[in-house]
Amino acid sequence: MTSAMLETRGLCKNFGALEVSREVNFRLERGARHALIGPNGAGKTTFINLLTGVLLPSRGSVVLEGEDVTALAQAKRVKRGIARTFQINQLFRGLTVLENVCIAVAERLGVGGTMLRPAGRRADVIEQASRLIEMLKLGGDAGRRIVELPYGRQRLVEIAIALGLNPRVLLLDEPAAGIPSAESHILLDAIATLPKEIAVLIIEHDMDLVFRFAERITVLVSGAILAEGTPAEIAANREVRAVYLGSALDA
């Protein structure tokens, strides 16, 4: 069996007596379009935090392309190609869209700590950031500060920052959360046009989005994997329908 892009083996996380991840064995294949779904409190965001190194697991391991990265700090994992977005926007609110993305690009290129050269003379950083901003159709807003943008546009900046890190694995934590449904197509388009070589794991409550986007779905309930399969398999799974999807699919 070839190594997955990202894999967890027997991943457990306890907060005291509370088990938020239980023996999670998960594989994210190269170039995957994978969705992680589950009811509120199923441990989805905890799982992302374990993958990115924000939290350390109580047991088990995180493996990136066959290499155990469990002990690596968040910053090191970012350098190895794991990037994420947040469920609630985490942006540099007082800075412009361009500056937001430039900060990410500068860190990836390893020039974020240089002191002698003005940031404005980093033509390579600005150019790469501008290209990403164009790609996400944020070009008209590049010079505007985050606080001046509507929430939906801010969600796109979240993705632009993550892409600025040139990830091999992109973890999207509820990218459509908080966006009015009339605007969610912009986000869907953005996600649909992500480069094929990036393995994408999306956590989402919007089932339309999940079933349009995902080629594979994992269902997490109470910290453990309940089921995994293609969208058709998941939709047909009686257990999943019972605990989670309920009537949403009957309609």
Partner 1 sequence: MTAARQLAERHRFRWWELLPWIAGIAVFFAFPNYLSFGTQVLITILFALSLDLVLGYAGIVTLGHAAFFGVGAYTVGMMAMHWGWNEPLSGLVAAALVAGAIGLASGWVLLRTQGLTLLMLTLCTMTLLEQAANMGAAWTGGFDGMPGLSFGKILGLFGFDALYFRSQYLYVLAVLFFCFVIVRMLVYSSFGQSLTGIRENLLRMHAVGAPVRARQVLAYTVSAALAGVAGALFTQANGYVNLAVLGLERAAGVLIVLILGGYGRLYGAFVGAIAYMVLEHLLAKAYPTAWQLGIGLTLMAVALYARNGILGLGDALRRRLGAGGTR
Q: Please, what sign has the CA dihedral across residues 16, 22, 23, 26?
A: negative
Closest CA to 67 of 143, 144, 139, 4: 4
Q: Amino acid identity, residue 117?
A: R
CB of 237 to partner 1, least distance (A): 33
Q: Please say which residue, 166 or 184, places its beta carbon nearer to partner 1.
A: 166
**Distance between terminal CA atoms of the chain?**
39
Our finding on whether 161 is near partner 1 (CB under 8 A) is yes
Our finding on whether 16 is near partner 1 (CB under 8 A) is no
Question: DSSP 3-state assignment of 86?
Answer: coil
Our finding on whether 136 is near partner 1 (CB under 8 A) is no
Residues 167-186 that bind partner 1 (CB under 8 A): none
Our finding on whether 196 is near partner 1 (CB under 8 A) is no
Residues 92-131 that bind partner 1 (CB under 8 A): 92-99, 102-104, 106-108, 111-123, 125-127, 130
From candidates 1, 75, 182, 251, binder to partner 1 by CB under 8 A: 75
DSSP 186: H
Q: Please, what sign has the CA dihedral across residues 69, 73, 79, 82?
A: positive
Our finding on whether 51 is near partner 1 (CB under 8 A) is no
CB of 250 to partner 1, least distance (A): 39
